[in-house]
Chain A
């Protein structure tokens, strides 16, 4: 073969190799709308940057996702470059993520909500970029409230009474009707629910921001005692096995008066096929008594770049694009609320979804789960919280005993308040 041909082939091979070199792997959701949105946005970035993006589908259950991520990262795997992480994970996974501080301008940092950035800063390193925010909300049957002449409740006590009144009335025609459904299964969702109760009474998130265990307080006790009375009265016993979808199933089929859930349910409840379309109202999570406060739990997902990634500059560029204003604005329609302060000041955005108004007011009083202070131990802490709550709700333990035991267990796990 002539030298020229060899040269041409070599160049061709080199260019091909170059073009094939960069592929980013991102783990951003498994199925449905979340996956689709991520795919479209990544594809748009891909076109601009010339780098292919591969979406890795991960287990749907958040606990499984975390377990998977932990294993991968601890093995220093380069299999995934960009991770979508739950708001409570930066503490657990933070040491494996790239510090974004040196790579992003300060203006981009301060564009997001401050408490989210603080949440994403672990041991002085900024490890995740906020992507969307979620808080708990309570859905109610506006038509039934009207029918029984009730106003929209603002406290848990008012909700309990309203739920009882509606349940007693509706049971005559539908024996399966219940007053209130929420997430009572023993999983992370229960931790979210219980914090919404305790904080609303002026209680604590069980571990405070400096890492001190403050589980057994009078307000927490009052909240848990009230919740325990719901099971079997206004909430079915089966609620102890409900996650988000089970609760939605009951409410959407017209079987409940009130439901605590996340914003995602709204578009499903108001869709054409929904039996309760046109009858649903949304309110912030109730206060714990008149002197309490609305304290929905702060949820949401953020984007992080793996320390072990072989394509760090490209990965950082991708997450900056995904979390940018146009993309966040686009996602609002589908129920994914933005983390950028600017979008909450935008009147057009506020008007686009009735949920948005509720969310905007909720965000300022939202309570965060104790992931920041407990760091790598968060999962264990949450586990103790949800297990204790579960046994109190199921009547296995009295609230007093449960809280005392929880306090002991958390102190034990805290390793003298150091946590890590």
Chain B
């Protein structure tokens, strides 16, 4: 399709505007993080000097490295637990006929609609009574409430798309459900597991309210809480430079991850949204 000059220019303007709007805050965060704390109060569009003190201070003033590790551990264990439990559930929901199957799937999905506040106090009591307060386990378990439903739903959708013939053949050969699942389906589900795992990872990494409520010490916090609570050298200071530095540190790997796995993420987000 040929397009007019006017249309081309219009297109490019739109592209530049949209890209600029999307990326500017991140650029600004980087510029701000490289400023000396005493020059924070001036607006410079381009860094005049590169000052790395903000980056070193965040690691000195709080166990930020530890916080990153915590986030990694919690997000990874969330993903592993979700995938393991979810694959099993998805198999039942996608491949086995039983009464109330549709209703069950709808109910599971409904759980992800719960506002976090609605379960906050009950969850807190639960975590405390299981002795999981201020620990990785507490966060992993509590994250199930918003990661498990969509994991199951997504995996169910993916499984439904797998060819029936393979399954039929295996069943005729007398294979049990477990064999069918592990020997026949799982090998075919690589991409969908990656997609689902990624989305669950990002959701767990991003979570704030539960991490805020269920951890106590600075050493146990995850990254979002650590950033949200960054404080200055006295109880009152607002250390914007350090907040920006922490933000940059946390954002860069995530952005890289998302860019590498763009296609997977897109297919995950849109699967099931477009009903066949």
Contact = CB atoms under 8 A, between A and B. Distances in A.
Contacts of B128: 75, 77
B38 A273 contact: yes
B77 interface: no
Contact of B133 (A29, A77, A243, A262): A77
B229 A61 contact: yes
Interface residues of B, number: 22
B124 A31 contact: no
Contacts of B125: 75
Contacts of B124: 71, 75
Q: Chain B's interface: helix, strand, loop or mixed, by majority?
A: loop
Nearest to B125: A75
A59 B134 contact: no
B4 interface: no
B161 interface: no
Contacts of B237: 32, 245
A32 B233 CA distance: 4
B236 A57 contact: no
A32 B229 contact: no
Interface string B35-58: 000100100000000000000000
A29 B213 CA distance: 19
A31 B61 contact: yes
A57 B217 contact: yes
Which of A56, A71, A80, A268 has the most chain B CB atoms closer than 10 A to its own CB?
A: A71
Contacts, number: 64
Given A75-B125, A75-B128, A245-B238, A56 B217 contact: yes
A151 interface: no
A218 B62 CA distance: 49
A284 to B, nearest CB: 21
A25 to B, nearest CB: 9
A72 B133 CA distance: 10
Interface in A68-115: 68, 71-72, 75, 77, 79-80
A96 B217 CA distance: 20
B218 interface: yes
Interface stretch (A7-15, A246-254, A285-293, A362-370): A246-254
A80 B218 CA distance: 14
Given A32-B232, A79-B133, A268-B234, 18 more contacts: A31-B234, A32-B234, A32-B237, A33-B234, A56-B217, A58-B216, A60-B231, A60-B235, A71-B213, A72-B216, A77-B128, A77-B133, A79-B216, A245-B232, A249-B238, A253-B41, A264-B235, A264-B236
Interface of A: 29-34, 56-61, 64, 68, 71-72, 75, 77, 79-80, 243-246, 248-249, 253, 262, 264, 268, 273
A-B interface, 8 closest residue pairs, ranked by CB to CB distance from nearest: A60-B231, A244-B236, A32-B234, A57-B218, A32-B233, A245-B236, A75-B128, A245-B238
